[in-house]
Amino acid sequence: MPPQQEKEVSDVSSDTGSDLFEEEETKESEDQVPLEQFATDEKFATTLELLQLPPAERSRENVECIFSLVKDNKFFAELDAEMSLELCRHMTYTTKKKDRVVFYKGDPADNWYLILAGNAGVYIEELKDLPEGDGGEQGDSSANLGRGLIRNDVRSAALIAHSDCLFLTLDKKSFQHCLGNFLRQKTDDKVQTLRQVLPGARDLRKLVVEQLTYFFKEATLQKDMPLSTEGNKEDTLYLIVKEDTSAISIRCVLEHTRES
């Protein structure tokens, strides 16, 4: 009798685990967008299929085909050719429906995301959004989205799809192999810049300054271009990072309308 009772308990446990797994699969499926929505032509669809091949099975031709899909993406403009190709060897993809959570603040940082189509919002505090689009338009990885992987830490912000999204993804091991040092240096550079130009930033902990960089994006303005005109309601703060006789590189923050 005792062995029989143990068997019954084991069967129940197995069924419960199976049910939970099926529920998770169902929920994940409900969050996905049909790939046909993004695969607007045959070449695009074929390239996405290549992203499903295991990295070891991707030929040089496959990798170059994948790169042709993403080469105009602004994230890849900062990378050299070999780093870009190595990324294309390891990347896969996923989709998310509008208003679905990609990951929550505090989740394990186990994947890196690059937005290939759509836009998403970064949330530092739960349900308190940054200005819409920050950290999440097409082409953004936002080094922000990989900082937990850089520090081997949990997510410091949540990511929510503002529209149906197609993401390129890297698992943690591939991320560290391909991008870890590059994005670590990029993050350190942003922190150092902000500490130089933002009053009071020198006295803040590095993690706090990192979170402040979520609000910033860089732009270059030509000489004599007005930053503001008299009588306009101001909703942007400009910090001059670098200037010469022809252009000024700025970082702008607080790009949202103030309440009257």
Single out the residue of 235, 251, 214 nearest to residue 125, CA to CA.
214
Structure tokens at 41: 């032509």
Binning pLDDT at 50, 70 and 90, where does residue 61 land? very high
Q: Are residues 69 and 174 in the same domain?
A: yes
The span from the CA of 124 to the CA of 121, in Å, is 10
Query: What is the span of the domain harbouring residue 225?
Result: 185-253
174, part of any domain? yes
Range 204-226 burial, b when 16+ CB lie within 10 A, else e: beeeebbbbbbbbbeeebeeeee
Please give the share of the chain, as a percent, with pLDDT higher than 90. Answer: 13
Number of domains making up the chain = 2
Of 180, 212, 230, which residue is a domain's last?
180
Vertex 138: Cα angle to 133 and 126 (nearest 5): 40
**What Cα–Cα distance (Å) separates residue 27 from each residue in 24, 88, 99, 161, 166?**
5, 28, 14, 16, 18
- pLDDT, position 241: 74
- Using DSSP's 3-state secondary structure scheme, residue 89 falls into helix
Contact (Cβ atoms closer than 8 angstroms) between residue 160 and residue 151: no
Q: Are residues 110 and 50 in the same domain?
A: yes
21, part of any domain? no
CA-atom Rg of the chain in angstroms: 22
- pLDDT, position 146: 57
Q: What confidence tens digit (pLDDT) does each residue in 88-124 have?
A: 999 999 999 999 999 988 888 888 888 888 999 888 7
Q: What confidence tens digit (pLDDT) does each residue in 152-167 have?
A: 577 878 899 999 999 9
The span from the CA of 187 to the CA of 201, in Å, is 15
Whether residue 171 is predicted with pLDDT greater than 50 in this model: the reply is yes
Q: Are residues 172 and 247 in the same domain?
A: no
Please give the share of the chain, as a percent, with pLDDT higher than 70. Answer: 70
State mean pLDDT over 164-189.
Answer: 82
Binning pLDDT at 50, 70 and 90, where does residue 184 land? confident
pTM of the model: 0.58
**Which of residues 136 and 33 earns the better pLDDT score?**
33
Q: Are residues 131 and 215 in the same domain?
A: no
Across the chain, what does the average pLDDT equal?
73
Single out the residue of 191, 109, 192, 209 nearest to residue 157, CA to CA.
109
Q: Are residues 128 and 243 in the same domain?
A: no
